[in-house]
Each structure stands twice: as C-alpha cells, then as structure tokens.
C-alpha cells in the first residue's frame, strides 16, 4: 500500500493528511517536543523522510517569535574597502560563523554604511535578527551607546572604554601597544614612529598604550603617521614618509597589513628590516609568518574573540547580563623586530 496519491508534501498539513493524524501530532513528532507515542513518532518521522519533508524554519520562527539568526554587521565607517582586504575581520567572520552555527543560529551578514544616527535603529526594527554583533565600533560610539540602553542583544567587537554603555569584546589594545613599545626599546630602538589612523578607537588605544610605555625622552619624538588600512593606501603613505627623508629606527604599525606595507616601502628606499629598521605589526594574521622578513607582531586571538562574542550574545538572549571582556594580546617575536 503506497501513500503516493497526494502531490508534493509542502507543509505539516500535507503530511498530516497522508499520515492520517492531526497537524499537532506531526509537529510534535518532528520537533521531538511534547509527549507522543514512540511508535507514532517513528512512523511520522519515517514518512517525512520518505517524502523529503522538513519543517519550514521561517514559519517555525515566526510562530516562536524569533528569527533564528544573528546579524553580523560590518560598518564601513572610516574607510571603504577596509573589510574587503583586512584578513583580520574576515577571519573573525569565519570563526563567528562556526560559533553561531554551533549555537543553532544562522549568520546574517550585512555590510552597513553608518549614516546619521538612525541606521542601527532601523536595522533592529526590521526584526531580521534576534541579536546583533558589530565588528568594529568605528566612529559610532554615540549611536551604540544610545541603542545599547534599550536593545540588549548587542555585542561589539572593539576597544573597551570605561564610559561605553555598550558591551564589547576585544583585545586589550593598550596592553598591546605597551608590548610593542617594550619590545622596540629592548631592541635598542629610540627613534620611533606609529603608523595608523587614530580616529579608529582600537588604533587610538594601541597608540596610547605605545606612548605610555616609552621612556620620556623617546616618547617626545615619536612620529604619528596617519596610515590607511588598505594595502595600497598605507603603502603610498609609507613611501611618502620615507621619501621625505624620515629615518626612524623602529616602527609600530596598527595592523599587520600596514606593517607589511611599511616593510615594502622601506625596501624601496634601501632600508633593511630589521638591520636598519625594526617593524612590529598587530594582529598576527596567518600570513604574518610568510613575509620576508617574517613579521614580529602583537597577536590577537581571533578564535577566542569569536567564541566570547557568540557566548556573550547568546547569554544576553537568555536574560543574563554579562560584562565587557578584554583579551590579553601576546607578543610574537619573529624577524622584523
């Protein structure tokens, strides 16, 4: 006896008809929730399998008053193109996908152009996600603070500021800057420069920690060079810097990409790294060990960062409060400094 008479099975209603039971029985069988005769459950599951039927997740979520997904927002704040080429952000994204999947959530990826003070509000109100992770606070601190007061499932990857009302997970950038400073000083470097855009809070904190850990006489003559995050832009800035005759003996770059740009530009000007110039990066992207010379850098633990972001958000979704977390960076000594 076949039950092929009916057409395609598109809903639990269809399946209920074929199985000769009610929709709620089918629902219970397929969600493994609620009491149900074991045999009935088995039979219905087999039938569903046979017809290649699966519960429609969207409808299920609507009924449950949730969406089942977490939005990951990449704000394109300071500089276009950053996130396209920045291996750090991209690696973070990959890990987040894993962490969220493990917790039963889909990852809704959105690159947003933060304009005005309404962009985040508008996104939230559209109800497309149960929670939001923003990678990088960019220059949107005020917007984040305003929203955080009334929208709880929101976690930011970024620098922790004591006055932030929003929740962050991030590397202790100040400590990272200090590590870089100590290392360069230990190497006997005295004429230093920092390459990075200090309008980005993370980078500002790295710079701040860097300065703080330097001896007074060294600190006074540090060059602050406004380098962009894209390889092209930062390389041209570095080239201009060397072309102008600047000859520091130690450079702390706000990211590995910037560090690599600096090294490339230095090579063009006949400067040997690390003989003439020590360069310390930040991130420890996978490629940092493939450069020539291999990059000495301050490592951020991306995997742990993603884990903590997901964890904190899911906990908030469950009603817990949670608190901002800083991850300690590590100095990775290779050849460039």
Partner DNA sequence: CTGTTAGCGCCTTCAA
Partner DNA sequence: TTGAAGGCGCTAACAG
Does position 8 interact with its own copies (CB under 8 A)? The reply is no
Residues of the shown chain interacting with DNA in the complex, contacts defined by CB under 7 A: 10-13, 20-25, 27-28, 30-31, 33-38, 40-41, 55-56, 59-60, 62-65
Binding mask 26-55 for its own copies (x = CB under 8 A): --------------------------xxxx
The residue among 102 and 320 lying less far from its own copies, judged by its C-beta, is 102
Does position 57 interact with its own copies (CB under 8 A)? The reply is yes
What, of its own copies, DNA, none, does residue 98 touch, CB below 5 to 8 Å by kind?
its own copies
The count of chain residues that interact with its own copies, using the rule CB under 8 A, is: 55
- The C-alpha atoms of residue 117 and residue 76 are separated, in whole angstroms, by 14
What, of its own copies, DNA, none, does residue 30 touch, CB below 5 to 8 Å by kind?
DNA
Does position 224 interact with its own copies (CB under 8 A)? The reply is no
Does position 291 interact with its own copies (CB under 8 A)? The reply is yes
State the minimum distance, in angstroms, from the CB of residue 76 to its own copies. Answer: 10
Among 23, 79, 90, 304, binds its own copies (CB under 8 A): 90
288 dihedral zone (left: phi>0; alpha: psi -120 to 50; beta): alpha
Does position 278 interact with its own copies (CB under 8 A)? The reply is no
The bridge status of strand 325-327 relative to strand 250-253 is unpaired
Does position 83 interact with its own copies (CB under 8 A)? The reply is yes
Q: State the residues that interact with its own copies by CB under 8 A.
A: 52-59, 61-62, 67, 69, 72, 74, 83-85, 87, 90-91, 93-95, 97-98, 101, 106-111, 121-122, 125-128, 230-232, 235, 257, 260-261, 263-264, 267, 286-287, 289-292, 294
């Amino acid at each position: 006896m076949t039950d092929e008479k009916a057409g395609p099975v598109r809903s639990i209603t269809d399946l209920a008809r074929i199985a000769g039971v009610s929709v709620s029985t089918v629902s219970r069988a397929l969600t493994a929730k609620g009491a149900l005769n074991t045999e009935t459950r088995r039979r219905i599951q087999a039938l569903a399998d046979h017809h290649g039927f699966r519960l429609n997740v969207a409808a299920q979520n609507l009924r449950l008053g949730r969406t089942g997904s977490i939005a990951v927002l990449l704000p394109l704040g300071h500089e276009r193109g950053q996130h396209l080429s920045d291996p750090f952000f991209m690696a973070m994204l990959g890990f987040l996908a894993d962490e969220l999947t493990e917790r039963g959530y889909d990852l809704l990826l959105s690159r947003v152009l933060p304009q005005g003070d309404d962009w985040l509000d508008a996104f939230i109100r559209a109800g497309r996600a149960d929670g939001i992770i923003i990678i990088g606070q960019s220059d949107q601190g005020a917007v984040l603070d305003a929203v955080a007061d009334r929208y709880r499932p929101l976690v930011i990857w970024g620098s922790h500021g004591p006055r932030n009302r929003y929740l962050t997970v991030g590397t202790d950038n100040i400590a990272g800057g200090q590590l870089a400073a100590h290392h360069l000083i230990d190497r006997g470097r005295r004429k230093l420069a920092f390459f990075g855009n200090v309008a980005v809070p993370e980078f500002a904190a790295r710079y701040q920690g860097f300065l703080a850990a330097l001896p007074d006489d060294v600190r006074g003559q540090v060059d602050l060079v406004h380098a962009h995050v894209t390889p092209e832009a930062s390389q041209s800035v570095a080239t201009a810097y060397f072309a102008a005759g600047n000859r520091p003996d130690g450079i702390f770059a706000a990211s590995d990409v910037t560090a690599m740009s600096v090294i490339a530009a230095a090579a063009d000007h006949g400067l040997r790294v690390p003989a003439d110039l020590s360069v310390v990066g930040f991130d420890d992207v996978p490629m940092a060990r493939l450069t020539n010379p291999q990059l000495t850098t301050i490592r951020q633990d991306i995997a742990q960062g993603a884990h903590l972001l997901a964890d904190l958000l899911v906990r908030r979704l469950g009603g817990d409060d949670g608190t901002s977390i800083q991850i300690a960076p590590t100095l990775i000594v290779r050849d460039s400094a």
